[in-house]
Structure 1
Amino acid sequence: MSDSERSPLFLPVIYVGGLVFGFGLALSGMAKPEIVLDFLQFEDFGLLFVMGGAAVVTGITFAVATRYLDRAPLTASAYTRRVKSFDRNVLIGGAIFGVGWGVSGICPGAAYASVGIGNYPILWAIAGMFAGAYVQGYARSSDTKSTESTSDAPAN
């Protein structure tokens, strides 16, 4: 879908959603890596309640929206289910994400919120996330190009 087909409210609503998300993370204390690390060490289960509360609100919203609306309000896209296969990349990527989360005590959303509460050294972790995503994207595109070039080769 092109930008011209979206509602003019799309970007402002995305921005407001990000503000609410960041405010909620900061208010709940989940923007502090030490709180997340305490959760990962089974010392503080506040993160479980924050994630659970978010999951319940999101689940209810999607259940109601998909029942009463045939299209997303801002993009006018039909509600569809994105089916992702559970493959090797999901397992490996999840494990790598988990190691990064455990080592740093942050995940992407909380990292940005952490900057908002004055934790500027977290910018190093954010830079690392961008670098890791870039390297993975580069590796995948290189792999795709090499696969395409070998499939284009004439068969003997």
Structure 2
Amino acid sequence: MTPSLLLGLLVLAALSAYLLWRGRQLRRQRMLARLLDLADAVERLLDRSQERMQSLQPVVGRVPADIGAVAQASLEHALPIREAKRDVLQHRLWIQQNSATAGLTELDAACAALTRAREKLEQQLANLDSAGAALARATRAADEAARREPATLRRPPSNGTS
């Protein structure tokens, strides 16, 4: 083997090793960025869920108390959202503490977990929006029907509304 061929092979081997290392570094950076983006997305969905639950309280308040009590209690109970936000914070702390040493499979698993959480939250928020819209339509229809009834047949106002 000639010295120039040997030198070329060494340069090629070193370049290949560098490119592999650099590719892994870039993949790690992309995964960390994705992980942080997913944590942001989950947090935004939790905020939207909390806002949506608060906006449904007046609608549920228009329903007779015996019917709306469970729904009102669910809307006022913010513990699941607080716990989910705490879980997101724990993910962020894990990223901060382990991002330099975590393997790509660990980062993949963390991304997959946050993706599943985001998808589940998106579905639950869509269900909440759908239920809220249906409840709003039902209460509007009930209010319109009540206005058409003779005054002597009307139910007394509940929760301060007519």
Report the TM-score range of the alignment, normalised by the length of the smaller protein.
0.3 to 0.5
Q: TM-score, normalised by structure 1?
A: 0.33
Larger RCO (alpha carbons 8 Å, 6+ apart) = 2
Q: TM-score, normalised by structure 2?
A: 0.32
